[in-house]
Structure formats: structure tokens, C-alpha cells
């Protein structure tokens, strides 16, 4: 007897204002901490350590954009770090240029390399992308090592103490004295860190950040919504690289020495460990991760400290394990292994004299532990435990009121007989004709059904109409802007021309909220650039406000108002289907294609769906509906076309088609096959 529960709905996020409040408080605490730290802990060693932590954090925040938001593994960030470092170091080495231009060079050059890296990375993902980034990082290291005239090769470049502010230029003494002078660099690094946090915040909460997440969750849906997967991948790499370059340039001046073998694969893995262990898609995660990877070698060097930490970890594991068992939590046997491992760690450290030689093994074990038991990192774990820490999901933290009309129907050419005309569409895959010359005429303002048994070509037709397949022959014409050909154009172009679709297997952006999903559909309304987003210009803020109001209006229309802040993956299935339709409507389409929207829905959900489709038609949008649910088709469609084996075998009103003997035979088989005689089956 098998019993698998359906996915439970997750706890709702905190109220926006509370989360925003916590965000502000956290930010202020960080500023206060950073400002006061060097005055409380005066040892230069620890101030330097804090500088390194901050520098790494800058890079890791940038890495989070690629790993956390676009969801790709980048194994080349140490290479980008190296470019930034060498840009600053080489500028000094050859031209005696100091830190300020060094930073600019670091950011600029590395961002350019990020764009170059994006080129081979555009069309690949997953392990292939990992290999591309790994190859890239290795090439960088080789070139740094070999281009001795520029980089001084394996000897490296030594830099003098950094001069941040040169008061002698204006004929003054530093107001904060010589002790303060030593801290100028520290405060510069802190300022850069804070600026990075603000920048990353602005980017991820802008259409750019949403596009990054969208291309992780469903590149196909992005294509069909006019959001260019390539373009946003490039942006993600460029921003991430720019930040790595900033970190690199700061690092060069902080360590005062650069050499090629620092920027190795091991360093990249360390950065990945930091972003994963800290927690992706957060600002505090990279900070926590950075602290861990910087402090870890120091802790591991002191066996006494290691034993204390191991003891603490073992004690914590005992508590967590005991708690799970006493409360009879469901996963108590599953966590037995990590608990046992944590406990065993303690006697192991007692037995060893020194762990430094096994430092990398400890890191490797940490990676394994994090990957399997802490996939959302420490921050993710805390967020699960403490609802108040969950992100607000709305940038401004204010709940938005719906405004304006939800549906803005574009009109097709006035007086056009047919909004969509398909002429002899042929789709051939090798020897198989999925569509064998199909004509289709869809009148404006109607709901047109497309039905047929399995393998009849309905989905193929859908994919031809939306540009996922280029038809082998035949034309598809849309009566908009004087009539335009759709065949041969990309899904993105077709979407922006006014044809929106939903998918047979729901292609929502699972980790984004309902509101954010619709906002991605509204992407075509955003005219601002990346700089608008980073600087938070009035144009950006206005566009965002208007888009949110419109998105809420659409959610209202679909009856999803209350679920605006719920992540798409936590919505009940019926609501997910409706959300997908809402997102498609955000494109302001003239034609909406629905691919089996009723599949898997319960009867009440189906009633909702039918009502909404009618409202959509009443607003002036033409609908093509592929469906198996005959009652839905018969009840809704003005006209129905029936496909079988790639041919159109019938067309007409719903009742007509239902009684057509050819259609009955297509679905049920020829009556001649009854009774075991082998008569020739008469298919159309």
C-alpha cells in the first residue's frame, strides 16, 4: 500500500511591512557594526581579516546572481576575480596608477570579460555551462601566468600600501590623524560592500532580477513571452563579473601582492561553498558564507578551537536529534545520518593533532553536507524556522492596489475576415508528417476549438503557431498591422506581435510569486535600462508602480487577488493554470492560445475556467482552445476544427462536429472493427 501526500502548501510569507522593517534594521546594524568594528577590535590582523571578508562578500553577492538567481553553476569566478586583481595591479605596475582608477579598471575590464564569457554560455546550461565557466577560468589563469610582459607572470606584482585619499593634493592634513589614515582603506571597502548590497537589491527586484529567475525556472516560457533568454544571461554574467572585478581590484590593494596561482579552481569552489552554505537569493547569505570561508582556515589551524567547535556542533546535533525524536517528527529517521556525522566529528577531532593538512577535506565534507542537508543554506534554514525572516517579495513592501483595466485587447486589422489564417501548414519530422497540409481560419472575437485524438497534430499546430517549430511548408498570417507572416519567426517575435499562449505542462516561474509571474508577462512595458534599475531613477520607480497596479488588476480578473504574494509552486493546481493564463494576458495579446487548460482540473475549477475564458472573449481577445474535455469544448467554442493524423477532418459548430461520423470514427475507431472480422477500416 503506497501513500504519498500531495505537496503541502508552505507557510505564507511574513507581512511585507514586517519584513521590510527587519531588512532596514539588519542594514542599520550592519552599518553600525562595520563602522565601529575597527575601534573596538584594534588589532590590525583582525581588521585585515574583516577587509577580506568584506571583499569576498562583494564577489559572492555577485556570484549569487548567477548561481542563486539564474540558477547556473559557475566554476570560473576565481578567474574573474583574478582579472579584477590584475587589472588594478598591472595599472600600478606599468603606469603607477593608484586605487581609484584601479577600481574602475577592475570593474570595467572584468565586466567586459563577463560579456565575453556569456557568449559560449548562452546556449548551454547545467553541466555544459559549468564546463564552459571552468574552461574560462583555467584559460584566464594560464594567460595571467604566461603574459609576462603585462602581468609579470609567476613572479607576481607587489603593490605599495594603498593611498586612498591624498590630502596633500589640497594642501591639508588628514582630519582623522595617522591612525585614522590606516583605516581609510577599510572604510573604502565597507563603502563598496554597502554599495554592492544596495546595487544587488535594486537589480534583483527590478525586471532584470525577475528575468534572471524566469530564465532559470522556464526558458521556454521566457521565449514565448518576449523575454530574451540570451540577453538576460549576458546581463547576469556582466553584473556578476563587474562585482567580481571590484572585489579583485580591492583584493589586490588589500593583499598588496598578486600572483597567478591564487585565482585557482579551489578558490572558485570556496566561493561556491560560501554562497550555498550562506544561502542563495539573499544578501545576508553571502555575508555569512564569506565569514565562514575566511574564518575557517584560521579556526582549523588551531586544534583547540576545532575541538571546541566540534563539541558545540555535536551538542547542537544531539539537541536537534533528540527534539525530532521526542516530537515524533516525520523526518526523524532521515536526519539520523547527519546528526550521527556531526556527533562523530567530535571524537575524531580529539584523536587528531592537527587538521590543517586536511583543510580541503573538511571543505569537501562541508560541501557534501550543505548540498544534501542544507540546500537553502543557513539563511534558508533560518527562514524556514522563523517566518518573520521570509522575504517580503514586494520591493517596496507596500501591498499594491489594482488599477486600470486588466485586459487591454489589441485590435486586429479592422474589417479583417480572419484574424489568423493558416494555409496548408506542413510539419514534417523525418518521415513523419505531424501536420499534412492543414488550413485553419480563425475569426476575430471568437473562441475556436481544436480537437482530435492523440497524435492528431494539435500540439504540433500549437507549436507551429507560436514559433517553437518552423513549418516545413505553408504560411501562418496574423491580421495585425496590415497582416504579418508568423511562420519562420521566433517565439519571442510572435509573442510581441500579439500571440500569447499557455502550456500543456504548466510552465510557471515556480520560485516567484503570482504577482511576479504576471510582472514578467508585463516585461514588454518596461523601457528602462540596467542603469535605471541600479540607480533607482524616477522612471524606473514609475514603471514599476504602474506595472504592479496592472498586474494586480489582472490577478483580480483571474480571481487570484488573495494569492498575489504566494510562490507559484505553492499554489493549488487549478490556480496555477489560471495564473498561467493571467500571465499570458499581460502580453496584451490579440490572440490567446490555450493548450489543454482544463487537464487535471476538478469540476469547480473547470467552471471557473470556463467563466474566465468567456470573459476574455467578451473583452475582445480571440481564443484558440485545444482541449480533450469535450463538455468544455462544446460549451465554449463558437467553432471547432477536428484534426486526425495531421489532417483536418471536420469543422463547424460544436454540435455539428460532435455528431459527425468521421469525428466519431477518429476517436472511437471504425465500426467495421467490431466482431473480429478484418474489414478495411475507412478513415478519412
Q: 258 to 277, contacts with other proteins by CB under 8 A?
A: 265-266, 269, 272, 276
CB of 118 to other proteins, least distance (A): 10
CB of 263 to other proteins, least distance (A): 15
- Residue 6 binds to other proteins (criterion: CB under 8 A): yes
CB of 244 to other proteins, least distance (A): 19
Site for other proteins in 81-120 (CB under 8 A): 119-120
Q: Give the cell for residue 586.
A: 499581460
CA distances from 629 to 298, 430, 603 (A): 65, 31, 11
CB of 649 to other proteins, least distance (A): 14
Q: Which of 11, 146, 439, 656 binds other proteins (CB under 8 A)?
A: 146
For the four alpha carbons of 159, 161, 165 and 170, in that order, the dihedral sign comes to: negative
Neighbours of 573 (CB within 10 A): 15
What is the Cα–Cα distance from 169 to 186, expressed in whole angstroms?
Answer: 21
In sequence order, which residues have a C-beta less than 8 Å from that of residue 23 and are 6 or more positions away?
392
Q: If DSSP codes are grouped into helix, strand and coil, which group holds residue 288?
A: helix
Q: Which of 52, 122, 291, 535 binds other proteins (CB under 8 A)?
A: 122
Q: Which of 86, 92, 136, 253 binds other proteins (CB under 8 A)?
A: 136
Convert residues 480-509 into a mask of x (bound to other proteins by CB under 8 A) and - (unbound): -----------------------xxx-x--
Question: What is the DSSP code string of 300-341?
Answer: HH-HHHHHHHHHHHHHHHHHHHHHHHHTT-TTTTTTHHHHHH
- Judge whether 632 and 605 are in contact, CB under 8 Å: no
Convert residues 346-365 into a mask of x (bound to other proteins by CB under 8 A) and - (unbound): -----------xxxxx-xxx
Q: How many residues bind other proteins (CB under 8 A)?
A: 88
- Residue 138 binds to other proteins (criterion: CB under 8 A): yes
Measure the CA dihedral 108/109/110/111, to 10°.
Answer: 50
Convert residues 629-648 into a mask of x (bound to other proteins by CB under 8 A) and - (unbound): xxx-xx--------------
In sequence order, which residues have a C-beta less than 8 Å from that of residue 678 and are 6 or more positions away?
none
CB of 3 to other proteins, least distance (A): 5
CB of 671 to other proteins, least distance (A): 6
- Judge whether 185 and 51 are in contact, CB under 8 Å: yes
Site for other proteins in 514-553 (CB under 8 A): none
Tally of residues, the chain:
684
CB of 115 to other proteins, least distance (A): 13
* Structure letter (DSSP) for residue 454: T
Helix axes 303-326, 336-351, angle to 10 degrees: 160
What is the Cα–Cα distance from 492 to 225, expressed in whole angstroms?
Answer: 6
Stretch that binds other proteins, among 40-48, 158-166, 199-207, 665-673 (CB under 8 A): 665-673
Instruction: Using the minimum distance from each CB to other proteins, give the nearer residue, 600 or 653.
Output: 600
Instruction: Using the minimum distance from each CB to other proteins, give the nearer residue, 144 or 192.
Output: 144
Site for other proteins in 26-65 (CB under 8 A): none
Site for other proteins in 295-334 (CB under 8 A): none
Residue 508 phi/psi, 5-degree rounding, is: -85, 165
Q: Which of 43, 178, 331, 678 binds other proteins (CB under 8 A)?
A: 678
CB of 345 to other proteins, least distance (A): 15
What is the Cα–Cα distance from 192 to 178, expressed in whole angstroms?
Answer: 22
CB of 294 to other proteins, least distance (A): 18
Instruction: Using the minimum distance from each CB to other proteins, give the nearer residue, 107 or 288.
Output: 288
Site for other proteins in 574-613 (CB under 8 A): 576, 596, 599-600
Q: Which of 15, 145, 446, 484 binds other proteins (CB under 8 A)?
A: 145
Q: Which of 128, 167, 176, 257 binds other proteins (CB under 8 A)?
A: 128
- Judge whether 589 and 501 are in contact, CB under 8 Å: no
Instruction: Using the minimum distance from each CB to other proteins, give the nearer residue, 427 or 520.
Output: 427
Instruction: Using the minimum distance from each CB to other proteins, give the nearer residue, 35 or 340.
Output: 340
- Judge whether 669 and 453 are in contact, CB under 8 Å: no
For the four alpha carbons of 545, 549, 555 and 558, in that order, the dihedral sign comes to: negative
- Judge whether 223 and 108 are in contact, CB under 8 Å: no
Stretch that binds other proteins, among 35-43, 130-138, 328-336, 397-405 (CB under 8 A): 130-138
Q: If DSSP codes are grouped into helix, strand and coil, which group holds residue 180?
A: helix
Q: Which of 304, 482, 538, 676 binds other proteins (CB under 8 A)?
A: 676
Instruction: State the burial class of residue 331 (Cβ atoms within 10 Å of its Cβ: 0-12, 13-18, 19+).
Output: exposed
In sequence order, which residues have a C-beta less than 8 Å from that of residue 162 and are 6 or more positions away?
98, 99, 185, 253, 254, 256
- Cα-based angle 632, 635, 640 (whole degrees, multiple of 5): 85
Strands 447-451 and 622-626: parallel
What is the Cα–Cα distance from 315 to 271, expressed in whole angstroms?
Answer: 28
CB of 516 to other proteins, least distance (A): 19
Site for other proteins in 554-573 (CB under 8 A): 572-573
CB of 587 to other proteins, least distance (A): 17
CB of 50 to other proteins, least distance (A): 27
Q: Which of 150, 429, 473, 481 binds other proteins (CB under 8 A)?
A: 429
Q: Could you tell me the end-to-end alpha-carbon distance of the chain, in angstroms, rounded to an integer?
A: 46
- Residue 683 binds to other proteins (criterion: CB under 8 A): yes
Q: Scanning the structure block, which residue is given the C-alpha cell 603606469?
A: 95
Site for other proteins in 430-469 (CB under 8 A): 453-455, 459, 463, 468
Q: Give the cell for residue 681.
A: 477500416
CB of 387 to other proteins, least distance (A): 23
Stretch that binds other proteins, among 31-39, 184-192, 230-238, 369-377 (CB under 8 A): 369-377
**Long-range pairs, 153-156, Cβ under 8 A, ≥24:** 153/260, 154/259, 154/260, 154/261, 155/259, 156/257, 156/258, 156/259, 156/260
- Judge whether 556 and 406 are in contact, CB under 8 Å: yes
Strands (E), 59-104: none
Stretch that binds other proteins, among 125-133, 157-165, 439-447, 612-620 (CB under 8 A): 125-133
Site for other proteins in 609-628 (CB under 8 A): 628
Q: If DSSP codes are grouped into helix, strand and coil, which group holds residue 556?
A: helix
Q: Which of 105, 132, 274, 495 binds other proteins (CB under 8 A)?
A: 132
Q: Which of 165, 367, 382, 535 binds other proteins (CB under 8 A)?
A: 367
Convert residues 211-240 into a mask of x (bound to other proteins by CB under 8 A) and - (unbound): ---------x--------------------
Convert residues 176-215 into a mask of x (bound to other proteins by CB under 8 A) and - (unbound): ----------------------------------------
Amino acid at each position: 500500500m503506497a501513500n504519498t501526500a500531495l505537496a503541502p502548501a508552505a507557510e505564507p510569507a511574513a507581512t511585507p511591512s514586517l519584513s521590510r522593517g527587519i531588512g532596514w534594521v539588519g542594514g542599520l546594524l550592519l552599518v553600525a557594526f562595520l563602522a565601529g568594528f575597527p575601534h573596538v577590535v584594534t588589532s590590525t590582523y583582525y581588521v585585515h581579516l574583516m577587509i577580506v571578508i568584506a571583499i569576498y562578500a562583494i564577489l559572492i553577492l555577485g556570484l549569487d546572481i548567477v548561481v542563486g538567481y539564474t540558477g547556473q553553476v559557475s566554476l570560473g569566478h576565481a578567474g574573474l576575480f583574478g582579472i579584477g586583481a590584475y587589472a588594478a595591479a598591472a595599472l600600478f605596475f606599468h603606469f603607477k596608477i593608484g586605487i581609484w582608477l584601479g577600481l574602475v579598471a577592475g570593474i570595467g575590464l572584468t565586466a567586459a570579460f563577463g560579456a565575453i564569457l556569456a557568449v559560449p554560455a548562452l546556449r548551454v546550461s547545467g553541466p555544459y555551462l559549468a564546463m564552459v565557466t571552468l574552461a574560462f577560468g583555467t584559460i584566464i589563469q594560464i594567460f595571467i601566468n604566461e603574459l609576462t610582459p603585462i602581468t609579470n607572470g609567476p613572479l607576481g606584482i607587489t603593490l605599495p600600501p594603498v593611498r586612498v585619499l591624498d590630502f596633500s593634493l589640497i594642501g591639508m592634513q588628514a582630519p582623522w590623524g595617522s591612525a585614522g589614515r590606516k583605516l581609510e582603506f577599510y572604510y573604502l571597502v565597507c563603502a563598496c560592500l554597502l554599495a554592492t548590497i544596495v546595487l544587488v537589491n535594486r537589480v534583483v527586484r527590478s525586471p532584470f532580477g525577475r528575468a534572471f529567475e524566469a530564465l532559470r525556472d522556464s526558458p521556454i516560457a521566457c521565449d514565448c513571452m518576449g523575454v530574451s533568454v540570451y540577453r538576460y544571461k549576458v546581463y547576469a554574467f556582466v553584473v556578476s563579473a563587474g562585482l567580481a572585478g571590484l572585489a579583485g581590484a580591492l583584493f589586490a590593494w588589500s593583499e598588496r601582492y598578486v600572483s597567478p596561482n591564487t585565482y585557482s579552481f579551489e578558490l572558485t569552489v570556496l566561493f561556491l561553498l560560501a554562497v550555498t552554505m550562506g544561502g542563495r537569493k539573499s544578501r545576508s547569505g553571502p555575508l555569512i558564507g564569506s565569514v565562514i570561508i575566511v574564518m575557517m582556515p584560521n579556526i582549523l589551524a588551531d586544534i583547540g578551537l576545532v575541538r571546541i567547535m566540534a563539541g558545540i556542533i555535536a551538542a547542537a546535533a544531539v539537541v536537534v536529534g533528540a527534539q525530532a525524536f521526542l516530537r515524533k517528527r516525520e523526518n526523524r529517521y532521515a536526519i539520523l545520518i547527519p546528526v550521527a556525522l556531526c556527533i562523530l566529528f567530535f571524537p575524531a577531532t580529539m584523536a587528531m593533532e592537527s587538521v590543517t593538512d586536511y583543510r580541503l577535506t573538511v571543505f569537501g565534507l562541508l560541501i557534501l553536507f550543505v548540498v544534501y542537508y542544507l540546500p537553502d543554506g543557513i539563511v534558508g534554514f533560518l527562514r524556514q524556522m522563523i517566518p518573520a525572516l521570509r522575504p517580503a517579495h514586494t520591493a517596496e513592501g507596500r501591498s499594491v492596489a489594482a488599477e486600470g483595466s486588466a485586459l487591454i485587447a489589441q485590435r486586429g486589422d479592422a474589417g479583417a475576415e480572419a484574424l489568423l489564417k493558416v494555409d496548408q501548414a506542413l510539419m514534417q519530422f523525418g518521415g513523419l508528417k505531424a501536420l499534412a497540409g492543414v488550413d485553419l481560419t480563425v475569426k476575430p472575437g471568437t473562441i475556436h476549438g481544436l480537437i482530435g485524438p492523440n497524435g492528431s497534430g494539435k500540439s504540433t499546430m500549437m507549436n507551429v503557431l507560436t514559433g517553437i517549430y518552423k513549418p516545413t511548408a505553408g504560411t501562418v498570417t496574423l491580421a495585425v498591422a496590415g497582416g504579418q507572416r508568423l511562420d519562420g519567426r521566433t517565439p519571442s517575435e510572435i509573442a510581441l506581435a500579439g500571440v500569447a499562449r499557455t502550456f500543456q505542462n504548466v510552465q510557471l516561474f515556480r520560485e516567484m510569486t503570482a504577482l511576479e509571474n504576471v510582472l514578467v508577462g508585463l516585461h514588454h512595458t518596461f523601457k528602462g535600462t540596467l542603469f535605471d534599475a541600479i540607480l533607482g531613477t524616477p522612471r524606473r520607480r514609475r514603471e514599476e508602480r504602474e506595472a504592479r497596479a496592472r498586474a494586480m488588476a489582472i490577478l483580480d480578473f483571474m480571481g487570484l487577488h488573495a494569492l498575489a504574494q504566494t510562490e507559484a509552486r505553492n499554489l493549488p493546481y487549478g490556480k496555477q493554470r489560471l495564473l498561467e493564463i493571467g500571465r499570458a494576458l499581460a502580453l496584451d495579446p490579440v490572440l490567446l492560445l490555450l493548450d489543454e487548460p482544463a487537464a487535471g482540473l476538478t469540476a469547480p475549477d473547470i467552471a471557473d475556467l470556463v467563466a474566465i475564458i468567456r470573459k476574455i472573449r467578451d473583452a475582445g481577445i480571440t481564443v484558440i482552445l485545444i482541449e480533450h474535455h469535450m463538455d468544455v469544448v462544446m460549451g465554449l467554442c463558437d467553432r471547432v476544427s477536428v484534426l486526425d493524423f495531421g489532417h483536418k477532418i471536420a469543422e463547424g459548430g460544436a454540435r455539428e462536429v460532435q455528431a459527425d461520423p468521421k469525428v466519431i470514427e477518429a476517436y472511437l475507431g471504425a465500426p467495421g472493427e467490431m466482431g473480429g472480422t478484418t474489414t478495411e477500416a475507412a478513415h478519412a
